[in-house]
Structure 1
Amino acid sequence: MEDQTIDLRMQRTCRFLSEALFELVLKKPFEEITVTDICKKAMVHRTTFYKHFEDKYQLLETMFSEEQRKFIELHIEEGESEQEYYRRIIRQMFEYASNYKDFFVQSASHIKNDFMAGLLRNTVRTYLDRCFRMDEKRSGVPNSVPIAIMSEYYTGAAIALIMWWLQNGMKSSIDQMVDYMSSMIVW
């Protein structure tokens, strides 16, 4: 029972720290945010922070890892065509970007190094890599292009298009963006 209580406290502390960092990134560049800033915002002592994380970069990586885990859980549904499956993947990426639009727009304008951009690219690339591998396994037909190359290509395209959409005020609906991106993919 005591282990369960400690685990819940750890989860709560990590959630508070993640939420604090998220809110701070909306206000100023990530590079200017200190561990002290995060701790004050989360109302957590610095020693507690360092029990969980080495630095703010590890906290940010943990935040992205959690989101990556959510993406990776998407599976092809029974009777779903390949095209429907990939449209659903594209939709999920746009919905995710829409839900966190302020974070992405602010962090994109504040990025002075490639750390945050690298985390985002890694999250999307890992997600797409897994989708392509599942599709290859399901169909039993190996891709003519290595999966690593396909994942990198579509990651770059997806991130560029999503950022353009967010920075231009999301004037097209998610449905329209899914249609546009799907039309550009060679089936």
Structure 2
Amino acid sequence: MDEQSIDLRMQRTYKLLSEALYELILKQPFEEISVTDICKKAMVHRTTFYKHFQDKYQLLETIFSEEQRKFSELHISEGETEKEYYRRVLRQMFEYVKNNRVFFVQSASHIKNDFMANLLRNTVRTYLERCFRMDETRLGVPSAIPIPIMSEYYTGAAIALVMWWLQNGMEISIEQMVDYISLMIVW
């Protein structure tokens, strides 16, 4: 079998397992979901699951990493100011949350341990650290505040605002949320 067909099979398996876990999280707490449940929903053998993942936690980490990769592909465009770039990133973050609001609301209400919360926090923090380091490199000036401290601060703020926005029925438009956040940030 050639490498391309193997790669396509791996992509298909990953897609089926990811979608199955996503659908199951919408219905029940993550802690109550078993690998067997995921495999049944995905119509994938348990042995296949374990060829790719150690457990359901690694599958979830992989899903978050893939989502982070999509955001990491956002780069500052030619002629775009730093402020315009971050406004675009914020807008896309709110659009992503809006498009996946059921998942965020359900998973937030189902969290019994800190695994999912920490995973989300680490994903956002890693992304922000990458952005801040790119800015530092691009500008050629070291940050006055250590990047890990800045990343932690903005991670907490971003997650709190997104959760507040969801809990309040997303009554404020995405553009208005981006405007408010922009006003709070000293550029």
When normalised by structure 1's length, the TM-score is 0.97
> What is the CA RMSD across the aligned residues, in angstroms?
1.0
Question: What percentage of aligned pairs have identical amino acids?
Answer: 80
Aligned to 1:120: 120
Aligned to 2:4: 4
Residues in 1 aligned to 2:162 and 2:61: alpha-carbon distance in whole angstroms: 21
> Moved runs in structure 1, 4+ residues, more than 6 A?
none
Residues in 1 aligned to 2:65 and 2:9: alpha-carbon distance in whole angstroms: 20
Does 2:59 align with 1:59?
Answer: yes
Displacement after TM superposition at 1:58 (Å): 0.6
1:13-45 deviation per Cα after TM superposition (whole angstroms, max 9, x unaligned) = 110000000000000000000111101110111
1:122-180 deviation per Cα after TM superposition (whole angstroms, max 9, x unaligned) = 11111111111111112222211011110110000000000111121110111011011
Residues in 2 aligned to 1:136 and 1:46: alpha-carbon distance in whole angstroms: 45
Aligned to 2:153: 153
The amino acid that maps onto 2:131 is: C
Aligned to 1:80: 80
Residues in 1 aligned to 2:160 and 2:107: alpha-carbon distance in whole angstroms: 14
Runs (5+) with no aligned partner, structure 2: none
Residues in 2 aligned to 1:165 and 1:139: alpha-carbon distance in whole angstroms: 33
The amino acid that maps onto 2:130 is: R
Displacement after TM superposition at 1:186 (Å): 1.4
Residues in 2 aligned to 1:64 and 1:107: alpha-carbon distance in whole angstroms: 13
Displacement after TM superposition at 1:92 (Å): 1.6
Within-5 A mapping of 1:132-143: 132-143=132-143
When normalised by structure 2's length, the TM-score is 0.97
Within-5 A mapping of 1:36-115: 36-115=36-115
Runs (5+) with no aligned partner, structure 1: none
Tell me the number of residue pairs that the alignment of Structure 1 and Structure 2 aligns.
187
